[in-house]
Amino acid sequence: MSFSWKNIKRRTNLLIGSALVMFVAGMAVFAPLLAPYHPTEDANILYSEEPPCEQFWFGTDIQGRDILSRVIYGSRISLSVGLFTQFMNSVIGIFMGLMAGYFGKWIDDLIMSITNILLSIPTLVFALAVMALMGPGLINVFIALGVTNWSYTCRLTRSQVLSAKRLNYVMAARALGYGKFRIMFNQILPNIMGPILVISTLGVAGAILLEAALSFLGLGVQPPTPSWGGMLAGAREKLFTAPWISIYPGMAIFLTVLGLNLFGDGLRDLLDPHITQQK
């Protein structure tokens, strides 16, 4: 496994994905500097549904707000939801997977039973049920998505632990008298982080799509806060008369998810020693 620039340059998917992710991240960080207008306050009904022009590069929406500014600020919502919820899913999934893989027996059976139940329920349906109980709002989106999609990380971590706990360095740590939790978190976990990082990257893309779906259905981020899914929901009735209202937030979702998937795919290739040797 090599992280040299030569090996990185060979992976076009990693380079393109990194460029797209950095572009969206930069757009989110520097939104106040990049946005030509305020996303919610600069609304003028006289400019309602203006097509793309020199003054409004992406046009305006029904309320006369600049779509470019709202797309730029919407990246903050999407990335924050994606990163935070995937962090929660990773923490839960890694801990549960370590426990199941290392201790085995009834602990493994219990955790795998819970995981199988979660995997049998579509994530969007589960998230909708949680949001229906808690109500709409950004904080509730964090909670709903942060506790509903950890099963994939859990199963992957468990499989890696089952392989790693039979290796020589784990046997040596046991012989030195290391405690079980020290072995799990200090010895095993750092050596199995490669596949977990890859699935976490892909999980961020999935979380962004779920947030957009919830906002589209009116259960996510509430207006007037700019959200790509919420912008698509507001553009449904104007799909044919003012298509630019839906085109640009849709393109933002597409490019962000594409970038994260390409980055995760390239990272997997880079971390896989078999693929590295073949290329």
pLDDT tens digits, 79-129: 888 888 889 999 999 999 999 888 888 888 999 999 988 888 888 888 888
The residues spanned by each domain of the chain are: 80-225+251-272
pTM confidence score: 0.83
Where does the pLDDT of residue 276 fall: very low under 50, low under 70, confident under 90, or very high at 90 and above? very low
Topology at the third CATH level for domain 80-225+251-272: MetI-like fold (1.10.3720)
Residues 6+ away with beta carbon under 8 Å from 153:
89, 90, 92, 93, 94, 97, 196, 199, 200, 203
When mean pLDDT is compared over 40-49, 92-101, 232-241, 260-269, the highest value belongs to 92-101
Provide the 8-state DSSP code for 56: S
* DSSP assignment of 119-132: HHS-HHHHHHHHHH
CB atoms within 10 A of CB 132: 11
